[in-house]
Amino acid sequence: MQGMSMSSMKKASFEIALKGKKQIAEGTIAFIFEKPEGFVFKAGQHLRMTLINPPETDAEGGSRFFSLASTPQNPDIVIAVRMRDTAFKRVLKNMRIGEKVLIQIMLDVPHGAFALHNDPSKPAVFIVGGIGIVPAYSMIKDATEKKLPHKLFLFYSNRRPEDASFLEDLQKLAEQNLSFKLIATMTKAEKLSKPWKGEVGFIDNAMLTKYVDDLKSPIYYISGLPEMVSAMKKMLADSGVGEDSINAEEFTGFNLNEIRNDSSHAWKRHMLTVAVVLAVIGVLHVNATNSVYSVFSLKNPIFYLLIGLMLIIAPFKLKHLLSFIRSKRNRSS
């Protein structure tokens, strides 16, 4: 996925209707959509979702990237969303059954994408934080449904059980699949409303070695917030795990190219503003050539007008730039 341009990727587009919603954790909702004919994907893959004529929008735009929580065998398309107070998620939350969204998905999953490896002799170790569980859940459920021989370990970190999406489903999968070991850990043990019998604290080297005999033999899949992913990659590297054995859910190829396309109209408006400002300066400069003072002379009042104009425009342009930076992160959540 990384480093590939959209021109080198084939993708399919579908309009799909909402079938249902289900709260799967505090602040997290699973949205269930109809699965159109011809929609194919690999477990762990993500799609791009765009709202159709949304009643409201904000600086983050009308598109997001979501990992699929469903498996290819599932008759529906399922995504899980950690709800925040953004226009996109408000519109999604308030959608009525039957209303549609536009989705796009890559047809040819590139090498290095977040998908289960083929070699069953190498265990798969998933290191997951919070809503990062979605692609791991899809891959583990898919492996269980297909009865794949891979040995699977899931280290799943949340603050409390109430925050853990798909926790009960994962516990059932662990009962069905003897090759799957679930290690759920809670980081806010002091705030638990009921007794917790599993691990507590953050995932670290000691927790991994407690369940995985040889840290260098598995293939790792890390998914979560950027800070968590970075910390886990460093921990594995410090433990002698090779870079080729570590996969992380980082949307830096397909995603950002799409985001750049979404942003093109905003950037055109930005460049138009710059052009207008430059035109004003040009006109003032021409007029100033016939005046006593240069347009940039401290004695010329036009100079102070230009300074004031730039001070007014600059904060808006800075805010615009920061909103793009934030949207790059938010669209992948």
Residue 68 lies in a domain: yes
128 shares its domain with 210: yes
25 shares its domain with 58: yes
101 shares its domain with 162: no
183 pLDDT exceeds 80?
yes
Q: What is the pLDDT of residue 67?
A: 92
Q: Which amino acid is at 217?
A: S
45 shares its domain with 143: no
User: Could you tell me the two tokens for 126?
Assistant: 């998933």
Distance CA 180, CA 309 (A): 63
Residue 187 lies in a domain: yes
Residue 326 lies in a domain: yes
Distance CA 191, CA 205 (A): 24
212 shares its domain with 280: no
Residue 119 lies in a domain: no
275 shares its domain with 309: yes
Q: Are 298 and 305 in contact (CB under 8 A)?
A: no
* Residue-wise pLDDT tens digits, 205-248: 999 999 999 999 999 999 999 999 999 999 999 999 999 999 99
Between 62 and 280, where is the model more confident?
62
241 shares its domain with 274: no
Q: What is the pLDDT of residue 194?
A: 79
150 shares its domain with 71: no
141 shares its domain with 237: yes
User: Confidence band (pLDDT; 50, 70, 90) for 313?
Assistant: low
User: Could you tell me the two tokens for 250?
Assistant: 């980082």
Q: What is the pLDDT of residue 128?
A: 96
Residue 160 lies in a domain: yes
* Helix, strand, or coil (residue 309): helix
Q: Based on the structure, what is the number of domains in the chain? A: 3
* Residue-wise pLDDT tens digits, 79-131: 999 998 899 999 999 999 999 999 999 877 654 468 899 999 999 999 999 99
161 shares its domain with 210: yes
136 pLDDT exceeds 60?
yes
Q: Domain containing 176 — which CATH number?
A: 3.40.50.80
Last residue of a domain, one of 106, 135, 159: 106
Residue 111 lies in a domain: no
User: Confidence band (pLDDT; 50, 70, 90) for 33?
Assistant: very high
Residue 225 lies in a domain: yes
Label residue 258 exposed, middle or buried (CB < 10 Å: 0-12, 13-18, 19+): buried
Q: Domain containing 73 — which CATH number?
A: 2.40.30.10
* Residue-wise pLDDT tens digits, 47-65: 999 999 999 988 888 999 9
Last residue of a domain, one of 214, 248, 282: 248
Residue 34 lies in a domain: yes
306 pLDDT exceeds 90?
no
34 shares its domain with 76: yes
159 shares its domain with 207: yes
Average pLDDT of the chain, as a whole number = 82
327 pLDDT exceeds 50?
no
264 pLDDT exceeds 70?
no
Q: What is the pLDDT of residue 209?
A: 96
Q: Which amino acid is at 261?
A: N
DSSP string over 257-294: HHHHHHHHHHHHHHHHHHHHHHHHHHHHHHHHTTSSS-
Distance CA 181, CA 266 (A): 47
Supply the range of the domain harboring residue 145.
124-248
Last residue of a domain, one of 207, 224, 248: 248
